[in-house]
Each structure stands twice: as structure tokens, then as C-alpha cells.
Amino acid sequence: MACLGGFLAMSGGRTIVEGMQNDNVIREAIEVQLITAVRLGFDTEEALAETAGLLAEAEAAFVRLSHPRFSLPPPPRRA
């Protein structure tokens, strides 16, 4: 019995059930944070894909505007 008392004294006086309840609370908090991180990761990936598309469009417009002879039709011929 002396060992059992020492064990309980070293454990901070918590019972096993209290420790398990605290573990469940911590586990649930970690799961919520992981789910949030995953959702934010998906949102970030979507935003990056959209940004890449917009950058490609802007680059194409820049190239077109920096070389106007390629983007304008030829002048009409005079008879």
C-alpha cells in the first residue's frame, strides 16, 4: 500500500478518471485545430489556384499591350 500512496502523490492527486477526462478534452481541442487547419489549407490552395489564373491573364494582357502591332488588325488598304 505504501507504493500506491506514493504513486498517487506523484501523480498530482488526480484520479485516473480525471486524467482520462482531461485527455479527452485535449484530444478534442487538437482535433478541432487540425480540422480548422485542413480547411484553411484547402481555402489557401483554391486562392492560390485562382491567383495563378489571374496572373496568367494579366501576363497575357501585358504581352498583348506591349506589342500592339500583334493585337491590332492591319490598317485597311487604299485603292
- Tens digit of pLDDT for each residue in 35-55? 999 999 999 999 999 999 999
Query: Which residues form the domain of 58?
Result: 37-70
pLDDT, residue 38, reads: 92
Name the residue type at position 61.
A
CB 64 within 8 A of CB 70: yes
pLDDT, residue 43, reads: 93
Residue 22 lies in a domain: no
User: Per the confidence metrics, is the pTM higher than 0.75?
Assistant: no
Residue 58 lies in a domain: yes
The count of C-alpha atoms lying within 13 angstroms of the C-alpha of 41, restricted to the half-sphere facing its C-beta, is 6
Residue 16 lies in a domain: no
Could you give the CA distance from residue 79 to residue 73 in angstroms, rounded to a whole number?
18
